[in-house]
Amino acid sequence: MFRTSKSFIVGKLRPKKFRQSMKKLPSSWLFLFLIPISVGFFFHQGYYLSCNSYPADDQVDYLTQANWIKENGGVIKFPLQLITNNFTENRKHPLYSLVLSIIAEKDVSFFKNAKILEFAVSLLTITVLFIVAFKAFSLTTAVIATSIFAANKFIMEEFSLLVPDAMFPALVALSWFFIAKGFSEDKGRNFLWGMVFASIAFLSKPVGILILGSYLISSLVIYRRSLHRIKEFGLSLLVFIAVASPLLIRNFIIYKNPFYNNNTSLLWIDDRQQRRAVGFKENPPTVFDYLRSHKVRDEIINTKNGAIGLISNISLITLFEVRRLRYPVILLLLMVVGIFLDKNRRRALFSAVLFGSFYLFFSYNYKVSPHYRHIIPISFLIFFYVINALSKVLPKRVLLICVALISFLPLYVVIIEKKISPISEINVTNLEIPSEQAAFLYFAKDNFDDRTIIVKGNEERLAYEWYDSVHGVVIPHPYFATFEEFASFLKEKDVRYVVIGPSTALSFKGIYQNYFYADSGKMIIKAVPAGWKQVFTKYDRAFVFKIN
């Protein structure tokens, strides 16, 4: 029943009713549609990859982890490194770092090569979305949906970063496609492939677990007490467990919870910077700790406000690219209509559960992380169902004109925004090392030794760890409510230097409010703390203080 050959998966994604689809549109239009979409995507994505001239934030972590994997046995030995907890990262799931490790090297060229790989991943994601939409709905849906993806600056900007956000939507879409097909055809082999992609999505990002949860809920609703489905259901779960087993085993051994992720603790804090508190990683807060000091009523209100905030984020990643409520509300209503009109009732149910689980989770998480990127992985459901619903009511001639015009949308956006003028500005491998970083590294290598203990703030422009290192023990800047608590920590740890800048001053206002503040990307000194001596600065964006 569970046929797992390569020909099966290829066959599932190859449109079988090609001739029937082409009756709606002339076959030559297929190529006309793909050409402008591809050209527009090439320049649009190339532009944003060029703008990503230096890794910051999570990009540094993934590059650094990829180097660690490469230096410790590479892809082959990584499952063992993960199970034995030699690879200790417990916030970011390892798949993307594992992919990057194939080309990893502790050199600035790593960043350039990684961006080329990211371009290929983005192109693959757009291709997957096109095929899934074509196979599940129609050529019309496929063309319009991928055109919107390729034309949206926020999506392309997110896809240009060296994080899993470009590969994750493709994995979610493939999981949705096979699971929905399994429900509609009652074939266990579809669930098998659905769980393969769901487990890979889980290894890519922790939130991938919502796909498994949506599958479980939908199965309970659809099959209820159908005993003959228990075997297929159990086998599909075993597939998920088998593929994700290295991570699940590590988490169970170390944390007594196979689905543990330290980022979950962010749900139980009020200030995102609390995650940097001493001992947070080893002893994170729990839901029970949180509920002791928070009212359920307040959490419901926060979730409602988060849901409204997410609606404005939907506005950003659709055609509108502005924060509005009326546009995405209309889209969501059209999506609901599209789901309601979907004759494949089981697919409609699973789509609603999957979208709802992501939306509810990130509505609650909005207070900690309100970023629009969280809604991108399930945005394909909005596009698919809205477009499919409209295609059923619009006259064929009008629909044909709309499809033709929208297929040129990515190229139109690129030209209007002058992202190919001149073409020479498109430089995917662009890399610009911040001058203050080069100056700091020169200072550090001149002044730090192996016994030096340094506290380093969260300065993006000083993120050198992925290609270089300095002597000494570097401690990430911890969170404290007051400067006095921080000073006690420095004394206890015998810290010699504190490396900070505007981002650190902004992030830790409780510590630095009487001494430093950020203004226009620079750190302004109001007063130097007693016992501190400024020994380095560059452009007021990087400071080193020596602790006496």
pLDDT digits (tens, 9 = 90+) for 360-387: 999 988 888 888 889 999 999 999 999 9
Which pLDDT belongs to residue 17?
47
Residue 281 pLDDT > 70 = no
Higher pLDDT: 532 or 6? It is 532
Q: What is the mean pLDDT of residues 259-280?
A: 72
Chain-wide mean pLDDT for the chain?
86
Token pair belonging to 410? 């990515």
Which pLDDT belongs to residue 274?
66
Residue 219 pLDDT > 70 = yes
Q: pLDDT-based confidence at 498, cuts 50/70/90?
A: very high
Nearest to 64 by CA among 43, 91, 36, 33: 91
Higher pLDDT: 426 or 260? It is 260
Q: What is the mean pLDDT of residues 322-348?
A: 89
Distance CA 128, CA 30 (A): 16
- The partner residues of 537 in beta bridges, in order of sequence, read 543
For helices 345-365 and 168-185, angle between their N-to-C axes, nearest 10 degrees: 150
Within 13 Å and on the Cβ side, how many CA atoms surround 438?
A: 5
Which pLDDT belongs to residue 170?
97
Question: 110-124, 201-215, 410-424: lowest mean pLDDT where?
Answer: 410-424
Q: What is the mean pLDDT of residues 403-431?
A: 73
Q: What is the mean pLDDT of residues 124-131?
A: 94
Distance CA 192, CA 106 (A): 39
Residue 504 pLDDT > 90 = yes
Query: Is 477:500 a contact under the CB 8 Å cutoff?
Result: yes
Distance CA 130, CA 144 (A): 9
Residue 393 pLDDT > 80 = yes
Higher pLDDT: 34 or 283? It is 34
* CA dist list (Å): 161 to 48, 155, 259, 428: 9, 10, 26, 12
CA 54 to chain centre: 18
Distance CA 21, CA 26 (A): 9
For the chain, percent of residues with pLDDT exceeding 90? 53
Which pLDDT belongs to residue 18?
40
Higher pLDDT: 31 or 66? It is 66
Higher pLDDT: 88 or 15? It is 88
Q: Which residue has the tokens 């999981």?
A: 175
Query: Is 13:135 a contact under the CB 8 Å cutoff?
Result: yes
Higher pLDDT: 401 or 105? It is 105
Residue 149 pLDDT > 80 = yes
Q: pLDDT-based confidence at 12, cuts 50/70/90?
A: very low
Which pLDDT belongs to residue 401?
81
Nearest to 14 by CA among 180, 173, 130, 126: 130
Residue 264 DSSP class: G
Which pLDDT belongs to residue 229?
74
Angle at 242 between CA 236 and CA 246, to 5 degrees: 150
Global pTM reads 0.88
Residue 529 pLDDT > 90 = yes
Which pLDDT belongs to residue 408?
84
Residue 351 pLDDT > 90 = yes
Cis omega (within 30 of 0) for bond into 55: no
- The partner residues of 525 in beta bridges, in order of sequence, read 516
- pLDDT 10s digits, 16-65: 444 444 444 444 455 577 888 888 898 889 889 988 999 988 899 999 99
Which pLDDT belongs to residue 271?
67
Q: Give the torsion sign (CA, 88, 92, 96, 97).
A: negative
Higher pLDDT: 412 or 446? It is 446
Which pLDDT belongs to residue 282?
65
Distance CA 403, CA 213 (A): 35
Q: What is the mean pLDDT of residues 402-416?
A: 81
Residue 227 pLDDT > 80 = no
In 3-state terms, what secondary structure has residue 544?
A: strand
Question: 16-20, 131-135, 213-217, 405-409: lowest mean pLDDT where?
Answer: 16-20
Distance CA 339, CA 238 (A): 30
Query: Is 155:376 a contact under the CB 8 Å cutoff?
Result: yes
For the chain, percent of residues with pLDDT exceeding 70? 89
